[in-house]
Amino acid sequence: MADEQKQIIRRAPAVPKKISDLKPEMGRVCLAGTIISKNKDIGSFILDDGENKILILTNDPKEFEQLREGTFIRVMGKVWGQEGELEIQADIIQDFSKIDKELYNKVVYTKFRE
């Protein structure tokens, strides 16, 4: 066991995107928006970025239970599905309720759309 070497697995960076910019071939993305509804049966919720909505799937029941409708959050995860039927498999969900939503969108999306 002492001779075993740890294998470090690095994730690809999550690129900030608006829901309308998502494509099936994209890897990891970062979305910010408001939770508008939750589905406890499958551990998912609908995220609204102010322009569009998308289904977000979670794997952590404890984390899912802490999510509240109406909360502004940031999600990092993998794009799944086909054009017109995309969803996100969440890796990280962060509470952004104390972040100024308009300022965040202005700074992040202006920078990454240039």
Q: Convert the pLDDT of each residue in 49-106 to its tens digit.
A: 999 999 999 999 999 999 999 999 999 999 999 888 999 999 999 999 999 999 998 8
Evaluate whether residue 93 is within a structural domain.
yes
Using DSSP bridges, classify how beta strands 87-95 and 44-48 pair: parallel, antiparallel or unpaired. Answer: unpaired
> In Å, what is the CA distance from 32 to each residue of 41, 50, 107?
23, 9, 12
Q: Is residue 72 part of a domain?
A: yes
Residue type, 37: S
Tokens of 83: 């054009």
Task: Confirm whether 32 is domain-assigned.
Answer: yes
Is 5 a domain residue?
Answer: no
Structural domain contains residue 1: no
Task: Output the pTM of the full model.
Answer: 0.86
Amino acid at 51: E
Which pLDDT score, from 0 to 100, does residue 5 have? Answer: 77
- Separation of alpha carbons 26 and 99, rounded Å: 26
> Is residue 47 assigned to a domain?
yes
Residue-wise pLDDT for 3-45, tens only, equals 667 888 787 889 999 999 999 999 999 999 999 999 999 999 9
How many distinct structural domains can be found in the chain? 1
